[in-house]
Amino acid sequence: MHNKLITMLKLQTEMNGWVHPDWNTQGFEWYRAIWIEASEMLEHYGWKWWKHQQPDMAQVKLEVIDIVHFSLSLELEKGLPLDTLADAISQGFSKPKSAADIKASIELLALETLKDHTAHFDIIAGLMQQLEMGFDELFEKYVGKNVLNVFRQDHGYKSGEYRKLWNGREDNEHLEDILAQLDDNSDSYREDIYRSLSEIYSSLEQ
């Protein structure tokens, strides 16, 4: 877990640099992004008793990934060595904290985040348990989403040149296929994802 957290912290630093070169001095409200994502997670899970709702677990898990992005950013703003941050984060993951059910755990995460404006990896871990989502799955989806975001930027996402539909399927669907085939323990995992995306995307241009 420690080495994977180091990788995630490095990727998050790079991604934040895309947003602003001096991102860690801008006072971005990462905490606000976390509780907003938590509310979106609750919407995907479903909470309305007056109509039928089926939980969209794939989207719920993606919201967990987004929350981890912002939580890592909060930790990185401390300016501590990555090893130190990874140790602290892994301690949070090792002590899962949750409420009676998933909906209440989502509310717990939002509540605690609003209280102290800090990251709560223990509650994230508790939610992951309730979602039957292991750390390896979190790492795989986190790195995949991060690499896809970079790939989009490198191929004209901001200018509108990027094509999100590849042979009738969205790029994130192709990403899921790629992740299922790769070894997330490989030292070149990130590069392997990017190369696989490039191979498919370049075939569209022929």
pLDDT in tens, the chain (206 residues): 999 999 999 999 998 988 889 999 999 999 999 999 999 999 999 999 999 999 989 889 989 999 999 999 999 999 999 999 999 999 999 999 999 999 999 999 999 999 999 999 999 999 999 999 999 999 999 999 899 988 998 898 878 899 999 988 888 889 988 988 998 888 888 899 999 999 999 888 65
Cβ-contact 6, 86 below 8 angstroms: yes
Task: Specify if 12 maps to a domain.
Answer: yes
Cβ-contact 82, 70 below 8 angstroms: no
Let me know whether 77 and 34 are in one domain.
Answer: yes
Domain boundary among 133, 166, 196: 133
- Where helices occur in the chain by DSSP H, the ranges are 2-19, 30-45, 57-76, 82-93, 102-116, 121-130, 135-154, 171-181, 189-204
pLDDT of residue 18: 82
Let me know whether 27 and 111 are in one domain.
Answer: yes
201 burial (CB, 10 Å; 0-12 / 13-18 / 19+) is middle
Q: Identify the bridge partners of residue 64 per DSSP, sorted by sequence position.
A: none
Let me know whether 92 and 183 are in one domain.
Answer: no
| pTM (two decimals) | 0.84
How far apart CA 104 and CA 190 sit, in angstroms, is 35
> Would you tell me the crossing angle of helices 57-76 and 82-93 to the nearest 10 degrees?
140
Q: Identify the bridge partners of residue 166 per DSSP, sorted by sequence position.
A: 169
What is the distance between the terminal CA atoms of the chain, rounded to a whole angstrom? 41
**How many domains does the chain contain in total?**
2
pLDDT of residue 205: 61
The identity of residue 120, as a single letter, is H
CB atoms within 10 A of CB 120: 23
The identity of residue 167, as a single letter, is N
Residue 71: alpha-carbon gap to chain centroid: 9
Q: Identify the bridge partners of residue 165 per DSSP, sorted by sequence position.
A: 170
pLDDT of residue 32: 97
Six-digit token string for 178: 């790629």
From the list 99, 103, 35, 102, the residue with the least C-alpha distance to 70 is 35
Task: Specify if 174 maps to a domain.
Answer: yes
Domain boundary among 86, 102, 133: 133
Let me know whether 123 and 52 are in one domain.
Answer: yes
Beta-carbon contacts of 201 under 8 Å, excluding residues fewer than 6 positions away, are 151, 155, 163, 166, 171
Let me know whether 12 and 99 are in one domain.
Answer: yes
Task: Specify if 145 maps to a domain.
Answer: no
| R_g of the chain computed on alpha carbons | 17
Domain range for 174 = 154-204
**CATH code of the domain containing 116:** 1.10.4010.10
